[in-house]
Amino acid sequence: MVFDYLASGLVFSSIIVLGSIGLSLIYSIADFANFAHGDTMTVGAYAAFLTFGAVGGLGGSVLGLPLGFFVALVAGIVVAAVVAVLTEKVVYDGMNAGSIELLITSIGIAFVYRAIIQIGFGADFTRYEVQTLRPIEALLPYGVRVTQHDVAIVLSALVLVGSLHTLLQYSDLGRKMRAMADNPDLARVSGIRTDRVKLWTWIIGAGLAGSGGVFLGLYNQLSPRMGFNLLLLIFAAVILGGIGSVYGAMLGGFLIGMINQLTPVLSDIALLTDMGALLPLVPDSFGIAIGIEYANAIAFVIMVAVLLVRPNGIAGEAT
């Protein structure tokens, strides 16, 4: 059963990583913590929900998902990016304010996003109209209960993360983004069009958030608070990995997601007795009375412990 928790952690981590990268990108370029990022994920999820309702009947399927779902995924990415860019141009860019003022403003923007979604779709939970699948039979003997949908989430996240890595390391835009993140003033006097780089940062960061929201809706279900409920975990992942570090956000997102899903192991350490005679002294009732409802708290405790040892995070640079 431990393998099942690990598999669930991998799927959940894929969603956290997509949200964490987007948040870290925007922070490194726009220089403020965007508290509307979680609700940007919700925007992407509901845009995909609407699109899938229109094109869900497209023929063919990949990993148990209709081709229409992937069309809806693209729509969710695009809508999330467009909404974030419009917000940046209309609200953030027009404000002569510092990081704290922008942070507080982003909290208000998050409430606006959430209210509009709730007015349009109601406060109830809903789901994508995709067929519920049975766990992959070949993995059941190992105690792993994942479906083809879970595999699709992990593979899609790998494609998106790999594409971002290629962009950052091998493209002209990626080099400009890294230069602006390191020293925006030097990048500006060097001739880099920082406004254009900032625009693309919002597009990429919000687009990744939108994709994470779509996969979160597939993994669980949709609700107006779905992105907000995940936001603190995403912040924990970004801080743990190193604020402003994209690759740190990837690592932090993976660790926070795995820790979150592995929490039930603490209340069921007797699972280890499945290893046979290796632990003959461990009684079947041995365990710690900590359930999945404490998963977020445990993730934050570990984050704080790491930061006490390394204040700049795992991959962050010292200041």
* pLDDT per residue as tens digits for the range 186-199: 888 888 888 899 99
Query: Which pair of structure tokens corresponds to residue 133?
Result: 């699948």
Query: Which pair of structure tokens corresponds to residue 177?
Result: 């983004």
Query: Which pair of structure tokens corresponds to residue 70?
Result: 């992937």
Higher pLDDT, 265 or 282: 265
pLDDT band at 243 (very low <50, low <70, confident <90, very high): confident
pLDDT in tens, 117-147: 999 999 999 999 888 888 888 888 888 889 9
Helix (H, G, I), strand (E, B) or coil at 283: coil
* Cα-based distances in Å from 230 to 55, 220, 233: 28, 12, 6
Q: In the predicted model, is pLDDT for residue 236 greater than 50?
A: yes
* Cα-based distances in Å from 86 to 21, 89, 206, 310: 20, 5, 11, 37
- Provide mean pLDDT across the span 278-296: 59
| C-alpha to C-alpha distance for 106 and 104, rounded to whole angstroms | 5
Render 102-154 in DSSP notation, one character per residue: HHHHHHHHHHHHHHHHHHHH-SS-B-------PPPGGGGGGT----HHHHHHH
pLDDT at position 250, please?
92
- Give phi and psi for 114, each to the nearest 5: -65, -40
pLDDT at position 289, please?
58
| C-alpha to C-alpha distance for 242 and 99, rounded to whole angstroms | 18
pLDDT at position 172, please?
92
pTM: predicted TM-score of the whole model, two decimal places: 0.88
pLDDT at position 317, please?
60
| C-alpha to C-alpha distance for 32 and 311, rounded to whole angstroms | 19
Mean pLDDT, all residues of the chain: 86
pLDDT in tens, 67-120: 999 999 999 999 999 999 999 999 998 787 788 899 999 999 999 999 999 999
What whole-number percentage of the chain has pLDDT above 70?
Answer: 90
Which residues lie closer than 8 Å to 192 by C-beta, 6 or more apart?
Answer: 176, 179, 180
| C-alpha to C-alpha distance for 285 and 292, rounded to whole angstroms | 18
| C-alpha to C-alpha distance for 256 and 258, rounded to whole angstroms | 6
pLDDT band at 268 (very low <50, low <70, confident <90, very high): low
Query: Which pair of structure tokens corresponds to residue 227?
Result: 């992105």
R_g of the chain computed on alpha carbons: 21
H or E element, residue 62: strand 61-62
| C-alpha to C-alpha distance for 211 and 158, rounded to whole angstroms | 12
